[in-house]
Amino acid sequence: MGMVGGGRGAFIGAVHRMAAALDSQIELVCGAFSSDPDRSRLSGQDLFLPSERVYGSYREMITREAALPEGERMDFVSIVTPNHVHYGPAKMALEHGFHVVCDKPLCFSMEEARDLVHTVEETGLLFALTHNYTGYPMVKQARAMIRAGELGTIRKVVVEYPQGWLSTKLEDSDQKQAGWRTDPARSGIAGAMGDIGTHAENLAEYITGLRISELCADLTAFVPGRRLDDDGNILLRFDNGAKGILHASQISAGEENDLNIRVYGEKGGFHWRQMEPNTLVVKWLDRPVEIRRTGVGELYPESQAHTRIPAGHPEGYLEAFANIYRNVAYCLQARLRGEEPDPLYLDFPTVHDGLRGMQFIETVVRSSESDEKWTKM
Amino acid sequence: MGMVGGGRGAFIGAVHRMAAALDSQIELVCGAFSSDPDRSRLSGQDLFLPSERVYGSYREMITREAALPEGERMDFVSIVTPNHVHYGPAKMALEHGFHVVCDKPLCFSMEEARDLVHTVEETGLLFALTHNYTGYPMVKQARAMIRAGELGTIRKVVVEYPQGWLSTKLEDSDQKQAGWRTDPARSGIAGAMGDIGTHAENLAEYITGLRISELCADLTAFVPGRRLDDDGNILLRFDNGAKGILHASQISAGEENDLNIRVYGEKGGFHWRQMEPNTLVVKWLDRPVEIRRTGVGELYPESQAHTRIPAGHPEGYLEAFANIYRNVAYCLQARLRGEEPDPLYLDFPTVHDGLRGMQFIETVVRSSESDEKWTKM
Amino acid sequence: MGMVGGGRGAFIGAVHRMAAALDSQIELVCGAFSSDPDRSRLSGQDLFLPSERVYGSYREMITREAALPEGERMDFVSIVTPNHVHYGPAKMALEHGFHVVCDKPLCFSMEEARDLVHTVEETGLLFALTHNYTGYPMVKQARAMIRAGELGTIRKVVVEYPQGWLSTKLEDSDQKQAGWRTDPARSGIAGAMGDIGTHAENLAEYITGLRISELCADLTAFVPGRRLDDDGNILLRFDNGAKGILHASQISAGEENDLNIRVYGEKGGFHWRQMEPNTLVVKWLDRPVEIRRTGVGELYPESQAHTRIPAGHPEGYLEAFANIYRNVAYCLQARLRGEEPDPLYLDFPTVHDGLRGMQFIETVVRSSESDEKWTKM
Amino acid sequence: MGMVGGGRGAFIGAVHRMAAALDSQIELVCGAFSSDPDRSRLSGQDLFLPSERVYGSYREMITREAALPEGERMDFVSIVTPNHVHYGPAKMALEHGFHVVCDKPLCFSMEEARDLVHTVEETGLLFALTHNYTGYPMVKQARAMIRAGELGTIRKVVVEYPQGWLSTKLEDSDQKQAGWRTDPARSGIAGAMGDIGTHAENLAEYITGLRISELCADLTAFVPGRRLDDDGNILLRFDNGAKGILHASQISAGEENDLNIRVYGEKGGFHWRQMEPNTLVVKWLDRPVEIRRTGVGELYPESQAHTRIPAGHPEGYLEAFANIYRNVAYCLQARLRGEEPDPLYLDFPTVHDGLRGMQFIETVVRSSESDEKWTKM
């Protein structure tokens, strides 16, 4: 694996490295950790990389790695830069024959998104998008339950992603995370909706298997002077007639990272919360509420295949994140062996989920500016 | 107290009686418990009432009680009938000089609502509406915190009222509660929104002190053949610029009665849930989450005045309901003594809250049928 | 009902009155509310009692009420005084033909306890002891589950009653509740163990149907200068071979009133907490954890018969307390009609539970002072 | 790192490998994964190890690795075998100059334990024992709070470790984990107490900084035919006069792995639960309950230094486990650089904790067999 971004001081780069390392299936062999070559070099030292494989730019990295003999060069690129620097390295990596793991949202604009989809389809390479929250075992369980029809036809979906960390104008300090996320030039046309709203959208569609068909959005920038939305409330309609609500916020003061989803069908419903991810509360019309737990009792294979440790030992965010990397590794290994990968391991978000997320952002922003009630997605 | 409705087999009548009895301030002295005189008579026997004060209709009751000497006749009427039989007895009671306690929603139509407001204002009598959920001590605490500015300017409100009991077509059975609630002739123009949506609306405006200024609603009758909404999702805008979400549902399969509200201001937020009403989770921008509990530590007088028992002994639904009756009793006693009531006891929902609820129902139904995004309330 | 104790400033007297009033089956007709006749008189006024039925002492009350014609005099006495004033009024009431409801613990010494059992048996009168925590619907459900064998043979019981309110020497202030509870002359040989340990013991034996056969106790008075235990840890052995733990504390700083019990059998276990009394968490060897809730789904008749309101509306401490009073009222009514009471309503703690509690106190204190590991109960 | 044990089918070996890999500070370079050489070889292949460094026995591994040039040979040994195969490889590794990470309990007997302590002291090598539960950030926070005196003098400790997985005679199946844990020849003189009771003991002493001075134990083998205890209840006395309870069980049917601890001091208390490890509920005498969370707000450096990801992203069992490995790696790196390690990283359990655990097992078993109330530890 070669990494683009994630140098000293970055948050998400370290997360990707831990997620990639956890299962000992992936080795970090090179990186272009910063657009500042010195920072990149120092970051490479921190990571015990040989200096000749620490590059000053992603262009240099991709060019030089592509020139290395097979077996020696990196197998895939992991892109952990801010949104506006996703498309460039992703496109170039694909064109040089490298598979890609990319942080979300996919890119900066719909044009970029469509082009990446096209490039992935053309090259036939793997492209994984780290919508990591779908990596949790109990999210897999929830999805499998719905697929198996346990809840009956889905009627209602409530998905929420409240945070409070941008309740003040943090971007005026030197907080790096706040800086780029609230900057249209680096984040795109949406703030909270791009950063976390897309996670909520992805989770809702992943778990239910439904598609949002139209929506009605009300976005707000509550903090004076902020240039992108820090809160959004959205009515949803799904393609099967289900209705729903999505809200995401970075000004819900005091909230940490409370992504959660409730789904109700004809026969029952469930509630899953990211902050206690090993619990799935399942509610039934005709029998008591059940608490399903990671690794406990009979669970669907989709859930079991993404669980590492026995019941009662909590698995966390990094393990869910690692499930994406591990699945990518297993699929690459299967390719190398000329085999079809086990379908259980094909379960990771792809460039198509990325395109979907970009459509969501675009639709939400358009709806919020419109006087019409419903905007099609 | 004389009661209209609440005969054998009714649910809410018994609740009102227990709530009125709890504090030994109110005595049930007469009733017209059913439109069926036999049922009324038997219900009166169950309640140890003398037969001469068990009436065959509310008209009879009001007329004959009004003819009794002062001090002997009932002081006020408690109306616990379905929605379409609120206006009649309320209007007649007021016109005969009786105070009124009335179940919610206030009545059947905006015309009735406006007329009742007018009548109450004209007569100067007390009129309490049993939006009982605002009777909980920790709801009082939450409201007092906001009033005192502890959360700063309010930015976001999320209020929910999910139930699952109407997930099937229960009205086709002989379930009395389901029957009238889904029948436009008895319930009015809204189903879930009238029954429980109004509680959510009342709670949100009560706690925040804000007013909903406009909204965007999407109501649905999910159960085939149902004539009124059994689910609704609503975007809210408040008069101070705050945004919000209200959703209420009777097809959220497996949910009991999970009314809950989250409010976020500039400095912090909180979460209160009716099913664990003695806990208020308070979240802060700059310090740890606090768990405030009924009767524990320093609480606002508004909260303390509505608490009966020491910390750690849960107070429930009946106690909250009883707070309305007790406050009404205290205010009546003050009137009898020619005194101003303690402002703490003036804290119960009135005919104005009832009018507001009717406006909410009317606005929501109108919005749901409209293609325009925002409908003013 | 006539009340002994419970005058102005008392806590538990008001609780008894609310519990007795809730179901409109019992009327407070007289009282001796304080050993101070003036205080008694004023308390009677607060309660709207005619002055001639407010007495200066329990002796006066019992003598004068006994002289009233049947139908006019009180039916039973409710004793809500500190421990050392239980025996006197209880004994005298029984001897004058009055049924008794008495706060716990039963009395002050084993001699008194045995004498009361004897007197109750001789007179054939009803005697209810307000171990109110067994009045909760989900405690009834838990007991019925064990009786029905759902958990298999019981192996382990963990019952806890932590409070923190006596973490400082509150008895040095004028806090009335702290004063008598820490005074051997008024409380007896035990402090925390008599006040709340007996509730834990009663709950454990009630729910499991087992009897503690021997125990090993370690009592402590942590607060310097305190004269009775404020904390105790106890190993339990039950008559069927089950083992267990009981601990009760008034120095568990920050705890409110967290009485809770866990029971484990061969097939499953459960957890019940008084502070969230409408939830019973049931755990199984071979299927998911279930959340059983007051009034939700199929519950045992023992639970349903002690539930007043529909699912999702929390019932609290007063409702559980009222279940004792209501059952006593129903049994008295059956007696008056010459009928056998419905066995569901015979379910309230009696003088025998009181004796058992006194034995528990005596055994625990003896064990704590002993070097022997096990002391028989 | 070289590993002893942990071949195919083992549970804890994989946990150690993930914990060691997470932070990219440790590389697995060799192993003797099974006493069966074929199984060891296949396990090595699974782990991408070169065949020449997959050994048929720990003896072979230690001898051959010691013969490799410095810089090439393993730095330390990780021992993940059942209890009866801890001493042998640990002793031999130390004698050949290798640092050791060893699973708990330390070994099989007090003699072995004392000898290992002696050997570690003599060689001056690092010895880490994987009492992993003390690796959680909020356990570090709790310990730091007590050290800083925030709770005042500690009065009461309640530590519990209930599991239910051995509620039936699982050792009669071919379940490998159950087999050795219930076999005196492989597990030692205690069952549940050795396996999980020692975790509880270690957690209690680690968090409080107190030492258990004497105890009173009641151990039971509930499952017919079981040869070691599957449940134990213990009264504790600490060296500062605090009292406590420890219970551990493998027949608490339906429990997963609910290690938890409550500590109460003069000023406040807290509750920590392993199954929701990122939450520390802190209770105060004089202010509201606080919810402290991993990574949120101001926490002690001891907590922050063991946290990897921002607030609201749950860290789990593997991250806590990895904190031990990472600290060992940091300390080894400091040694290699000739520096003193940062004291924050010296925080991992050592051979002395291991000896303490063995003393605990020995004392508990002795106490359980004794008629005397208190047994000194």
Give the tens place of pLDDT for each residue, B314-356: 999 999 999 999 999 999 999 999 999 999 999 999 999 999 9
**Cα distance from B288 to chain A (closest Cα, Å)?**
8
Reduced to 3 states (helix: H, G, I; strand: E, B; else coil), residue B141 is helix
Q: Which of B286, B293, B297 sits opposite D287 (nearest CB)?
A: B297
CA–CA distance, D253 with D164 (Å, rounded to integer)? 4
Give the residue-averaged pLDDT of D331-346: 94
C257 at the D interface (CB within 8 A)? Answer: no
Report yes or no: A293 at the D interface, CB cutoff 8 Å. yes
Q: Which chains does C contact via 3+ CB–CB distances below 8 A? A: A, B, D
Q: Do C24 and B24 touch (CB under 8 A)?
A: no
Chain D environment of A138 (Cβ under 8 Å) = none
Helices D198-208 + D137-147 axis angle, to 10:
50
Q: Which residues of A touch B169 (CB under 8 A)?
A: none
Q: Chain C contacts of A293, Cβ < 8 Å?
A: 288-289
Distance of residue C187 Cα from the nearest chain D Cα, in angstroms: 24
The pLDDT tens digits of the residues spanning C185-210 come to: 998 999 999 999 999 999 999 999 99
**In the complex, which subunits touch A with 3 or more CB pairs below 8 angstroms?**
B, C, D
B214: number of Cβ within 10 Å: 16
Confidence of residue A11 (pLDDT cuts 50, 70, 90): confident
Distance from CA of A208 to the nearest CA of C (A): 22
| Closest Cβ–Cβ partner in D18, D24, D312 for A257 | D312
Pairing type for strands B127-129 and B99-102 reads parallel
Helix (H, G, I), strand (E, B) or coil at C95: helix
Taking the C-alpha atoms of residue C275 and residue C138, their distance in angstroms, rounded to an integer, is: 12
pLDDT tier for residue C273 given thresholds of 50, 70 and 90: very high
Q: Cα–Cα distances in Å, from C114 out to B95, B241, C103, C203, C211?
A: 63, 70, 17, 21, 19
Please list, in sequence order, all residues whose beta carbon lies within 8 angstroms of the beta carbon of residue A118, skipping any fewer than 6 positions away: none
Are C274 and B18 within 8 A, CB to CB? Answer: no
Q: Taking 90 as the threshold, does the pLDDT of residue D293 lie above it?
A: yes
A64 — pLDDT class (breaks 50, 70, 90): very high
- Closest CB to D290: pick one of B290, B293, B296: B290
Chain C's closest residue to A297, CA to CA, is C287
Mean pLDDT over residues A25-32, rounded? Answer: 96
Q: What whole-number distance in Å separates Cα of residue C327 and Cα of residue A73?
A: 81
Q: What is the pLDDT of residues B299-310, one digit of tens each?
A: 999 999 999 998
* A291 interfacial to chain C (CB closer than 8 Å): yes
DSSP conformational letter for C340: P
- The answer to whether the CB atoms of B252 and A156 lie below 8 A apart is yes
Cβ-Cβ contacts under 8 Å between B and D: the total is 28
Distance CA A166, CA A163 (A): 8
Tell me what percent of the residues of chain D surpass a pLDDT of 90. Answer: 94
**D205-257 residue pLDDT tens:** 999 999 999 999 999 999 999 999 999 999 999 999 999 999 999 999 999 99
Q: Any chain D CB within 8 A of the CB of A315?
A: yes
Strands C127-129 and C76-79: unpaired
Chain B contact set for D142 (CB, 8 A): none
Supply the pLDDT for residue A311. Answer: 87
Pairwise CA distance, residues B176 & B206, whole Å: 31
CB-neighbour burial class of residue A326 (10 A; exposed 0-12, middle 13-18, buried 19+): buried
Chain A CB contacts of C287 below 8 Å = 297
CB atoms within 10 A of CB D371: 8
SS3 A291: strand
**Is residue C123 within 8 Å of residue C94, measured between CB atoms?**
yes
**Which one-letter DSSP state was computed for residue D146?**
H
**Cα separation values, C242 from C147, C209, C272, Å:** 15, 12, 19
Residues of B in contact with C278 (CB under 8 A): 275
**Beta carbons within 10 angstroms of residue D127's beta carbon:** 27
A185: contact with C, CB 8 A cutoff: no
Distance to chain B for C227, nearest Cα, Å: 24
Are B125 and B100 a contacting pair, CB within 8 Å?
yes
CB contact under 8 A, A318 and D309: yes
pLDDT band per the 50, 70, 90 thresholds, residue A175? confident
Asked if B244 reaches chain A (Cβ–Cβ under 8 Å), the answer is: yes
What ipTM score was computed for the predicted complex, to two decimals?
0.96
* Euclidean distance between CA atoms D248 and D222, whole angstroms: 13
Residue spans of beta strands (DSSP E) within C131-267: 154-162, 212-220, 231-238, 243-249, 260-265
Residue-level pLDDT, tens digit, chain B, 377 residues: 999 999 987 789 999 999 999 999 999 999 999 989 999 999 999 999 999 999 999 999 999 999 999 889 999 999 999 989 999 999 999 999 999 999 999 999 999 999 999 999 999 999 999 999 999 999 999 999 999 999 999 999 999 999 999 999 999 998 888 988 999 999 899 999 999 999 999 999 999 999 999 999 999 999 999 999 999 999 999 999 999 999 999 999 999 999 999 999 999 999 999 999 999 999 999 999 999 999 999 999 999 999 999 889 999 999 999 999 999 999 999 999 999 999 999 999 999 999 999 999 999 999 999 999 999 99
Cβ separation D218–C237 shorter than 8 A: yes
Asked whether the predicted pLDDT for residue C279 surpasses 90, the reply is yes
pLDDT score recorded for residue C121: 98
Q: Is the dihedral of CA B120, B126, B131, B134 positive or negative?
A: positive
User: Is C310 in Cβ contact with B11 (below 8 Å)?
Assistant: yes
Cis peptide before A105 (omega within 30 of 0): yes
Strands D279-284 and D268-273: antiparallel
Amino acid identity at C45: Q
Cβ-based contacts of A284 with chain B (< 8 Å): 253-254
Task: Tell me, yes or no, if B315 comes closer than 8 A to chain C by beta carbon.
Answer: yes
Give which of A237, A373, A374, A376 to mutate to test B binding, by max B Cβ within 10 Å.
A373
Q: Is the Cβ of C23 closer than 8 Å to some Cβ of chain B?
A: yes
Per CB-CB distance under 8 Å, the chain B contacts of D285 are none
> Which of the four pLDDT bands, split at 50, 70 and 90, describes residue D311?
confident
Is residue D357's pLDDT more than 90?
yes
Q: What does the pLDDT average to over D14-24? A: 96
Q: Does C372 touch chain D (CB under 8 A)?
A: yes
pTM of the model: 0.97
Determine contact: B124 vs chain D, CB below 8 A.
no
Which of A11, A16, A17, A24 is the best mutation test for D, with the most CBs of D within 10 A?
Answer: A24
